[in-house]
């Protein structure tokens, strides 16, 4: 699962205050997670952000799951 997000999630200190972003874009993992948590479907997120792919959304979920796992460990 780590490889799934590690190839898609990037962190750059000067971009979006160092927040994890998707494929060097300015769309953050937090943005995507908040849209999903707010009730948007994956399809709606992809419609609003056509530069994203379903794999990008899955990478955001995998990143969040991995971060949560590390916090507990």
* CATH classification of the domain holding 18: 1.10.10.10
**Around Cβ 69, how many Cβ atoms within 10 Å?**
10
Domain tally, the chain: 1
Q: What's the predicted TM-score (pTM) here?
A: 0.89
Residue 1 pLDDT = 47
71 neighbors 17 (Cβ within 8 angstroms): no
Helices (H), the chain: 2-6, 29-37, 42-48, 54-72
pLDDT under 70: residue ranges of the chain: 1-3, 73
pLDDT at position 71, please?
87
Task: Answer yes or no: are the C-beta atoms of 59 and 4 closer than 8 Å.
Answer: yes
Q: In terms of Cα–Cα distance, which of 32, 62, 64, 59 is closest to 48?
A: 32
Domain span including residue 39: 2-72
Three-point CA angle 30, 25, 19, nearest 5°: 40
pLDDT at site 2: 52
């Amino acid at each position: 699962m780590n490889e799934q997000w590690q190839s898609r999630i990037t962190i750059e200190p000067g971009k979006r205050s160092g927040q994890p972003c998707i494929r060097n874009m300015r769309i953050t993992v937090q943005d995507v997670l908040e849209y999903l948590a707010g009730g948007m479907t994956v399809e709606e997120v992809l419609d609003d952000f056509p530069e994203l792919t379903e794999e990008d959304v899955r990478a955001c979920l995998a990143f969040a799951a991995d971060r949560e796992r590390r916090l507990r460990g």
